[in-house]
Chain A
Amino acid sequence: NAGVTQTPKFRILKIGQSMTLQCTQDMNHNYMYWYRQDPGMGLKLIYYSVGAGITDKGEVPNGYNVSRSTTEDFPLRLELAAPSQTSVYFCASSYSPRDRVNFGDGTRLSIL
Protein backbone atom coordinates (compact mmCIF):
# COMPACT_ATOMS: atom_id res chain seq x y z
CA ASN A 1 0.00 0.00 0.00
CA ALA A 2 2.27 2.78 -1.29
CA GLY A 3 -0.09 5.78 -0.93
CA VAL A 4 1.58 8.89 -2.41
CA THR A 5 5.04 8.40 -3.87
CA GLN A 6 7.38 11.26 -4.75
CA THR A 7 10.65 11.17 -6.64
CA PRO A 8 13.37 12.25 -6.27
CA LYS A 9 13.78 12.64 -2.52
CA PHE A 10 16.68 15.10 -2.86
CA ARG A 11 17.98 17.23 -5.69
CA ILE A 12 20.44 20.06 -6.20
CA LEU A 13 19.93 22.27 -9.24
CA LYS A 14 21.87 25.13 -10.71
CA ILE A 15 20.14 28.44 -11.36
CA GLY A 16 18.31 28.33 -14.69
CA GLN A 17 18.07 24.54 -14.90
CA SER A 18 14.76 22.75 -15.29
CA MET A 19 13.39 19.65 -13.66
CA THR A 20 10.23 17.68 -13.03
CA LEU A 21 9.18 16.45 -9.62
CA GLN A 22 7.23 13.23 -9.97
CA CYS A 23 4.19 12.29 -7.90
CA THR A 24 1.97 9.24 -8.15
CA GLN A 25 -0.81 7.90 -5.95
CA ASP A 26 -2.48 4.51 -5.88
CA MET A 27 -5.63 5.40 -3.91
CA ASN A 28 -7.71 6.43 -6.95
CA HIS A 29 -8.08 9.94 -5.50
CA ASN A 30 -9.39 12.60 -7.84
CA TYR A 31 -7.86 15.49 -5.89
CA MET A 32 -4.11 16.04 -5.92
CA TYR A 33 -2.00 18.92 -4.63
CA TRP A 34 1.47 20.35 -4.64
CA TYR A 35 2.70 22.29 -1.61
CA ARG A 36 5.99 23.90 -0.79
CA GLN A 37 7.34 24.46 2.68
CA ASP A 38 10.20 26.84 3.34
CA PRO A 39 12.30 26.36 6.50
CA GLY A 40 10.35 27.24 9.63
CA MET A 41 7.26 28.17 7.62
CA GLY A 42 3.86 26.71 6.85
CA LEU A 43 2.66 24.89 3.75
CA LYS A 44 1.81 26.94 0.69
CA LEU A 45 -0.35 25.54 -2.10
CA ILE A 46 1.30 25.75 -5.52
CA TYR A 47 -1.17 23.95 -7.81
CA TYR A 48 -3.98 21.48 -7.43
CA SER A 49 -6.00 19.16 -9.64
CA VAL A 50 -9.58 17.95 -9.28
CA GLY A 51 -9.23 15.16 -11.81
CA ALA A 52 -7.44 14.05 -14.94
CA GLY A 53 -7.10 16.95 -17.35
CA ILE A 54 -8.13 19.61 -14.81
CA THR A 55 -5.62 21.75 -12.93
CA ASP A 56 -5.71 25.14 -11.26
CA LYS A 57 -3.41 27.59 -9.51
CA GLY A 58 -2.94 27.78 -5.78
CA GLU A 59 -1.36 30.57 -3.72
CA VAL A 60 2.14 30.51 -5.20
CA PRO A 61 2.05 29.18 -8.80
CA ASN A 62 4.66 31.47 -10.40
CA GLY A 63 7.65 29.58 -11.75
CA TYR A 64 5.86 26.22 -11.84
CA ASN A 65 3.70 24.20 -14.19
CA VAL A 66 1.69 21.03 -13.74
CA SER A 67 -0.16 18.48 -15.82
CA ARG A 68 -2.59 15.69 -14.99
CA SER A 69 -2.93 13.22 -17.82
CA THR A 70 -3.97 10.32 -15.56
CA THR A 71 -5.69 9.97 -12.19
CA GLU A 72 -2.50 8.54 -10.70
CA ASP A 73 0.15 11.04 -11.77
CA PHE A 74 0.60 14.75 -11.04
CA PRO A 75 4.09 15.98 -11.99
CA LEU A 76 5.36 19.46 -11.08
CA ARG A 77 7.67 21.22 -13.52
CA LEU A 78 10.20 23.93 -12.68
CA GLU A 79 11.25 25.62 -15.90
CA LEU A 80 13.97 28.10 -14.86
CA ALA A 81 15.12 27.30 -11.37
CA ALA A 82 15.73 30.26 -9.06
CA PRO A 83 17.22 30.33 -5.52
CA SER A 84 13.80 31.38 -4.18
CA GLN A 85 12.51 27.94 -5.16
CA THR A 86 14.78 26.21 -2.66
CA SER A 87 12.25 24.42 -0.48
CA VAL A 88 10.70 21.10 0.47
CA TYR A 89 7.97 20.08 -1.95
CA PHE A 90 5.11 17.86 -0.84
CA CYS A 91 2.64 16.15 -3.12
CA ALA A 92 -0.67 15.11 -1.60
CA SER A 93 -3.99 13.56 -2.54
CA SER A 94 -7.49 13.29 -1.15
CA TYR A 95 -10.84 11.78 -2.01
CA SER A 96 -12.50 15.22 -1.88
CA PRO A 97 -11.49 18.74 -0.74
CA ARG A 98 -13.26 18.12 2.57
CA ASP A 99 -11.44 14.91 3.36
CA ARG A 100 -8.13 14.14 4.98
CA VAL A 101 -5.08 14.73 2.83
CA ASN A 102 -2.41 12.06 2.37
CA PHE A 103 1.11 13.32 1.80
CA GLY A 104 4.13 11.92 0.06
CA ASP A 105 7.38 12.08 2.00
CA GLY A 106 8.63 15.13 0.13
CA THR A 107 11.32 16.28 -2.27
CA ARG A 108 14.09 18.43 -0.82
CA LEU A 109 15.26 20.80 -3.52
CA SER A 110 18.20 23.17 -3.34
CA ILE A 111 18.99 25.68 -6.08
CA LEU A 112 22.48 27.09 -6.08
Chain B
Amino acid sequence: RKEVEQDPGPFNVPEGATVAFNCTYSNSASQSFFWYRQDCRKEPKLLMSVYSSGNEDGRFTAQLNRASQYISLLIRDSKLSDSATYLCVVNLDTGRRALTFGSGTRLQVQP
Protein backbone atom coordinates (compact mmCIF):
# COMPACT_ATOMS: atom_id res chain seq x y z
CA ARG B 1 0.00 0.00 0.00
CA LYS B 2 1.30 3.47 -0.89
CA GLU B 3 1.85 5.87 2.00
CA VAL B 4 -0.21 8.57 0.29
CA GLU B 5 -2.70 7.25 -2.22
CA GLN B 6 -4.82 9.04 -4.80
CA ASP B 7 -7.05 7.99 -7.66
CA PRO B 8 -5.04 8.99 -10.74
CA GLY B 9 -8.16 9.83 -12.77
CA PRO B 10 -8.59 11.46 -15.15
CA PHE B 11 -11.76 13.09 -13.93
CA ASN B 12 -13.50 14.60 -16.96
CA VAL B 13 -16.18 17.08 -15.91
CA PRO B 14 -18.14 19.83 -17.70
CA GLU B 15 -17.71 23.46 -16.81
CA GLY B 16 -19.77 24.41 -13.80
CA ALA B 17 -19.73 20.93 -12.30
CA THR B 18 -18.75 20.07 -8.75
CA VAL B 19 -15.98 17.51 -8.40
CA ALA B 20 -14.38 15.89 -5.36
CA PHE B 21 -11.09 14.10 -4.85
CA ASN B 22 -10.08 11.92 -1.94
CA CYS B 23 -6.65 10.98 -0.71
CA THR B 24 -5.79 8.35 1.91
CA TYR B 25 -2.65 8.33 4.04
CA SER B 26 -1.03 5.51 5.93
CA ASN B 27 -0.01 6.97 9.30
CA SER B 28 -2.51 8.09 11.90
CA ALA B 29 0.20 10.29 13.47
CA SER B 30 0.40 12.51 10.37
CA GLN B 31 0.37 16.18 11.25
CA SER B 32 0.37 18.38 8.17
CA PHE B 33 -1.82 18.17 5.10
CA PHE B 34 -1.86 20.14 1.89
CA TRP B 35 -3.32 20.17 -1.59
CA TYR B 36 -0.98 21.27 -4.37
CA ARG B 37 -1.83 21.96 -7.99
CA GLN B 38 0.50 21.04 -10.85
CA ASP B 39 0.00 22.20 -14.40
CA CYS B 40 1.54 20.18 -17.22
CA ARG B 41 5.35 20.34 -17.09
CA LYS B 42 5.29 23.04 -14.41
CA GLU B 43 6.29 23.08 -10.76
CA PRO B 44 3.73 22.15 -8.08
CA LYS B 45 2.12 25.12 -6.37
CA LEU B 46 0.32 25.24 -3.06
CA LEU B 47 -3.44 25.31 -3.49
CA MET B 48 -4.39 25.18 0.16
CA SER B 49 -3.47 23.78 3.53
CA VAL B 50 -5.93 21.40 5.16
CA TYR B 51 -6.97 22.06 8.74
CA SER B 52 -8.65 19.73 11.21
CA SER B 53 -11.88 21.72 11.17
CA GLY B 54 -11.97 21.91 7.38
CA ASN B 55 -11.39 25.08 5.42
CA GLU B 56 -12.62 26.88 2.38
CA ASP B 57 -10.97 29.18 -0.14
CA GLY B 58 -13.42 30.51 -2.69
CA ARG B 59 -14.65 27.58 -4.76
CA PHE B 60 -12.32 25.13 -3.03
CA THR B 61 -13.10 23.24 0.19
CA ALA B 62 -10.71 20.90 1.96
CA GLN B 63 -11.67 18.42 4.65
CA LEU B 64 -9.66 16.16 6.95
CA ASN B 65 -11.00 12.91 8.39
CA ARG B 66 -8.45 11.66 10.91
CA ALA B 67 -10.51 8.63 11.97
CA SER B 68 -10.56 7.27 8.42
CA GLN B 69 -7.20 8.77 7.47
CA TYR B 70 -8.21 10.68 4.40
CA ILE B 71 -8.37 14.22 3.14
CA SER B 72 -10.66 15.54 0.45
CA LEU B 73 -10.80 18.44 -1.97
CA LEU B 74 -14.08 19.75 -3.34
CA ILE B 75 -14.15 22.10 -6.32
CA ARG B 76 -17.41 23.88 -7.03
CA ASP B 77 -18.40 25.59 -10.27
CA SER B 78 -15.44 24.12 -12.18
CA LYS B 79 -13.63 26.39 -14.62
CA LEU B 80 -11.59 25.42 -17.66
CA SER B 81 -8.59 26.86 -15.82
CA ASP B 82 -9.02 24.28 -13.05
CA SER B 83 -7.72 21.61 -15.43
CA ALA B 84 -4.55 20.34 -13.78
CA THR B 85 -3.18 17.56 -11.60
CA TYR B 86 -3.99 17.85 -7.90
CA LEU B 87 -1.41 16.48 -5.48
CA CYS B 88 -2.19 15.34 -1.97
CA VAL B 89 0.72 16.10 0.36
CA VAL B 90 1.23 14.83 3.91
CA ASN B 91 3.84 15.02 6.62
CA LEU B 92 3.50 11.40 7.71
CA ASP B 93 5.10 11.53 11.14
CA THR B 94 7.44 13.53 13.31
CA GLY B 95 10.48 11.50 12.22
CA ARG B 96 10.09 12.47 8.59
CA ARG B 97 12.21 15.29 7.28
CA ALA B 98 10.16 15.83 4.14
CA LEU B 99 6.57 15.92 3.05
CA THR B 100 5.28 12.89 1.14
CA PHE B 101 3.55 13.57 -2.16
CA GLY B 102 0.78 11.51 -3.69
CA SER B 103 1.03 10.75 -7.39
CA GLY B 104 -1.81 13.12 -8.16
CA THR B 105 -5.32 13.15 -9.58
CA ARG B 106 -5.78 14.60 -13.03
CA LEU B 107 -8.76 16.86 -13.66
CA GLN B 108 -9.92 17.86 -17.12
CA VAL B 109 -12.71 20.44 -17.25
CA GLN B 110 -14.47 20.46 -20.58
CA PRO B 111 -16.44 23.27 -22.26
Contacts and interface: CB of A to CB of B under 8 A. Distances in A.
Contacts, number: 50
Interface in A1-49: 31, 33, 35, 41-43, 45, 48
Contact of A97 (B44, B45, B99): B99
* Chain B residues touching A, majority SS: loop
* Chain A residues touching B, majority SS: strand
B110 to A, nearest CB: 21
Contacts of B46: 100-102
Given A90-B43, A98-B31, A105-B42, A41 B97 contact: no
Interface of A: 31, 33, 35, 41-43, 45, 48, 50, 56, 58, 88, 90, 94, 97-106, 108
Interface of B: 31-32, 34, 41-46, 49, 87, 89, 91, 96-99, 101-104
